[in-house]
Each structure stands twice: as structure tokens, then as C-alpha cells.
Amino acid sequence: MKISELTACRSKEGFIMQKTICELFAGVGGFRLGFERLEAGWETTWFSQWEPGAGTQWAHDCYVQHFGDSFDLNNEFHTGEDISTMDKQAIPNHTLLVGGFPCQDYSVAHTLSSSHGIEGKKGVLWWQIRDTIIAKKPPFCIFENVDRLLKSPAKQRGRDFGVILACLAKEGYSVEWRVVNAAQYGAAQRRRRTFIFAYRNDTIYGQKMADISADMIIKDGGFMAKAFPIQNMGRITETVIGGDIVDVSDNFAFAFETAGYMCKGRIYTAKVTEQEEEPITLGKILQTTVDDKFYITNEKMPKWTYLKGAKKIPRKTADGHEYTFSEGPIAFPDPWDRPGRTMLTSESTINRSTHVVSDPGTGRLRLLTPVEAERLQGFDDEWTNTGMPDRMRYFCMGNALVVPMITRMGRVLDTIIAEEK
């Protein structure tokens, strides 16, 4: 068996935990790139990337061009297939499980065959993460999701995140989380995402943290506080979550704040004010020479002006209720002296969320180039220039992570791994 298939190996001092990663929903490799930039010996043993309904798996192919493919414990390649069809026991062992997954409906019900089993909705990717955790028991996990995860769904605030916490608690994990605005920590984009760090309670780190107060963990002693220091912390609120996942799905609701900690079902959460580091401004990532195709034509300018402007639109619901939809103006063009806004998968299409900048060379209004989109996320220039069309390059970047945030967390995890024996 390869050393990369073990979570620990023997040395003269005893067992040393290996720096091995399994990357689910890998996209074009943001997690992997973030850890490899540490140059600290992290090795990805397996990854999975599959885009449902796509004829060509552009993101998977991009990942493979940069890093190569990965075979499973059966010496087979399944990285570009639906993860739900994968035998989770065949995934190589790993110390760290990572993945960015979407905010979906996490509600569950008892299976028809057994009142003790649970069944989530088909296609909800969290259950693939949960199944991988059950099969491989990784000591550590880092996950990324949108910031609204903590408040969804609207009719039962906090239920979805509660289901995730209950699943992790049931498998013997404690959890920290933080909503992070990447621009506050030196990035080029005002992208708010929820990062989740889970660790097995039987690790040295888990035993150590069990003796530290929740207040200290959230404020300055925990994983997230070290990766993303804060200025101050509000009042902590607490609750307890049960072990019956179906009951949590049916009845749990809680006001999760932007930071928090869960250990053995007891939840602590507080609103925190992030530390402010000097961000990269939009002007610093712009290219000086771009192709004419990125410029906005005079014919399309009225459409852009309308989309970016304030508007009040009369609307009617399905049951006949009439109301007015209102939205304020958005900067047009986007200012050079601020970080970019959150980039979506629709970047470059004619819509309100697409960035429009004044070109530094000509002063004309234009879209961001694919390279500038990569810079917003902290990737290397031309990272997605692997044969995919421009539209897919933007799409992949809109789905991606802000890579420097992963490197920050990896740096803290390095210190934790060093103490595991």
C-alpha cells in the first residue's frame, strides 16, 4: 500500500499523521492549489468533479491538466463520474476531507425500510460528504458553502446547517465555522462564504480543544480565529442539538451567527467583526491590453445602463397579489479603488451582477477578461485556459474558491498536524 493511502506512517518517534487530502466537488482545483502553495508536503490522494448534464466535463478536464488524474483503491479511475455512484470505501484514506458544496434542501425523512435509517433528497451533495465521512473517518474536514447556509430555509431558519452539525456530531466530530469576507483578509473580491472546520474528537487537537472554553475558541484560540483574526465578538448564544437527524430536520430552528463552535451537540455562536487587512483593489488586477470582444458596444449600452440602475417594477404573485419590486442602483462602472464584488457563474453575460470596468488603457467600458476573473479568485493567470470556451472559464471561476483563503487555513492546519502522533 502506498504511503499516500495511509493517514499515518511510522517514524523513529512513532506514528506521524500524513498530509493527505481528498477533494470532493473539486471544480478546477481551488482547494488543492491553496494547499500546494504552502509547499508543506500536502498530497491529494483522490478527487471528484462531475457537472450534471454537461456533455463535456470542462472543470474536471482542467483539473486533470494541472494535477493529473487519481485512481481509487481498486486501481480504477472514477474522478469524472457522479460521486453518488462511487463506492466510498474505495476512496483512498486521507487525513483531510475538503469540498465546496451548494446550499440545497437538507431535509430528511425515515426510509421506508427502516425507521432507524434516514434518506435525504436525491441530488443533495451533503449526503455524499456524510457518506464519505462514515466510510473513511478522516481526522479533519474543511468545507465551503454560501453565507446564507446558516439561515436557510426561510421557513425554518437554521435547519439546514443544524442538519449538517447533527450529522457531524453523530460521527464524533466537533465543528467550528466562520462567515468570511475574502476582501477583509487581503483578497481582491468581496466574497462572503461560510467555512466549516470539523475534527474528530479523538484527535490530539480534539482532546485539547475540549478543555478550552467556547468563548476562547471563537475569539482567538480556535482554528478559524487563527486563520481569520477578528476585532471583536458579540454575546454568545447557545443551544443543544439532538442526535435524531429526522427530528432536527422536522423541528430544529436557531439563529446562527457569523462565527461558532459545536462540541457533542452543544452549539455556541456569536457575531464577530472581522479584522481588516489591506485588500487588492479591482484596478490592480486589470490587464492593460485586451481584445475588442470584451468592450461594450454602443448598441448594448442602454441595456447595461438599465440593468445597473435603480428600478421599480409592478409585479403580481400567482394568487393575484400585486406588489412593487424595487432595487437600488449598482456602481456602473465598478470602481477601481475597491475590491471586486462577488463573482457569479453568470459573469460576462448581460446581467446586473456582471462586473463592468473602465479600461485602464482606453477608458472605454468593458467586461472582465477570463484572466481578470481568475485573478479575482486568486488563481494563476490562464488557469482555465485549457481548451474550454470563455463562457465556461467564467462559469468555473464563478463556482470557485478564493484560493488565498484556503492557504490561510492550510497554514493553521499545518501547526495542528505537527502535534498529531
Q: Which of 39, 41, 2, 50 is nearest to 21 (CA)?
A: 41
Residue 396 lies in a domain: no
pLDDT tens for the chain, 421 residues long, are: 333 344 555 444 456 789 999 999 999 999 999 999 999 999 999 999 999 888 899 999 999 999 999 999 999 999 999 999 999 999 999 999 999 987 656 455 544 343 334 444 544 789 999 999 999 999 999 999 999 999 988 899 999 999 999 999 999 999 999 999 999 999 999 999 999 999 999 999 999 999 999 999 999 999 999 999 999 999 999 999 998 999 999 999 999 999 999 999 999 999 999 999 999 999 999 999 999 999 999 999 999 999 999 999 999 888 889 899 899 999 999 999 999 999 999 999 999 999 999 999 999 999 999 999 999 999 999 999 999 999 999 999 999 999 999 999 999 999 999 999 7
In this structure, the answer to whether residues 271 and 364 fall within a common structural domain is no
Distance CA 139, CA 20 (A): 11
Give the pLDDT score at 318: 86
In this structure, the answer to whether residues 42 and 21 fall within a common structural domain is yes
Residue 97 lies in a domain: yes
* Residue 59: strand, helix, or coil: helix
Residue 387 lies in a domain: no
β-pairing verdict for 230-233 and 118-120: unpaired
What are phi and psi for residue 173, nearest 5 degrees?
-115, 145
Residue 222 DSSP class: S
* 382 Rama class: left (phi>0) / alpha (psi -120 to 50) / beta: left
In this structure, the answer to whether residues 104 and 216 fall within a common structural domain is yes
Kindly report the CA angle at 403 between 385 and 269, in degrees rounded to 5? 145
Kindly report the CA angle at 308 between 302 and 310, in degrees rounded to 5? 105
Distance CA 21, CA 67 (A): 13
Give the pLDDT score at 280: 98
Distance CA 260, CA 149 (A): 14
Q: Are 129 and 106 spatial neighbours (Cβ–Cβ below 8 Å)?
A: no
Q: How many Å is the maximal CA-CA distance in the chain?
A: 75
In this structure, the answer to whether residues 288 and 247 fall within a common structural domain is no
Catalytic pick among 9, 22, 62, 103: 103
In this structure, the answer to whether residues 176 and 34 fall within a common structural domain is yes
In this structure, the answer to whether residues 98 and 215 fall within a common structural domain is yes
Give the pLDDT score at 101: 83
Residue 356 belongs to domain with CATH number: 3.90.120
Residue 395 lies in a domain: no
Sheet architecture: strand order including 237-240: 43-47, 20-24, 96-100, 140-146, 192-200, 173-181, 259-263, 266-270, 237-240
Residue 353 lies in a domain: yes
Structure pTM? 0.92
In this structure, the answer to whether residues 262 and 291 fall within a common structural domain is no
Residue 174 belongs to domain with CATH number: 3.40.50.150
In this structure, the answer to whether residues 410 and 317 fall within a common structural domain is no
In this structure, the answer to whether residues 24 and 135 fall within a common structural domain is yes
| Domain span including residue 308 | 282-379
β-pairing verdict for 20-24 and 96-100: parallel
* Residue 316: strand, helix, or coil: strand
Residue 385 lies in a domain: no
Residue 315 lies in a domain: yes
Give the pLDDT score at 100: 92
286-304 pLDDT, tens digit per residue, is 999 999 999 999 999 999 9
Note if 103 is an active site residue.
Answer: yes
Q: Which residues 6+ apart lie within 8 Å of 323 measured at CB?
A: 314, 315, 316, 317
In this structure, the answer to whether residues 155 and 56 fall within a common structural domain is yes
Residue 389 lies in a domain: no
Distance CA 290, CA 52 (A): 33
Number of domains in the chain: 2
In this structure, the answer to whether residues 332 and 211 fall within a common structural domain is no
Q: Which residues 6+ apart lie within 8 Å of 31 measured at CB?
A: 21, 23, 98, 99, 100, 142, 401, 406
In this structure, the answer to whether residues 255 and 305 fall within a common structural domain is no
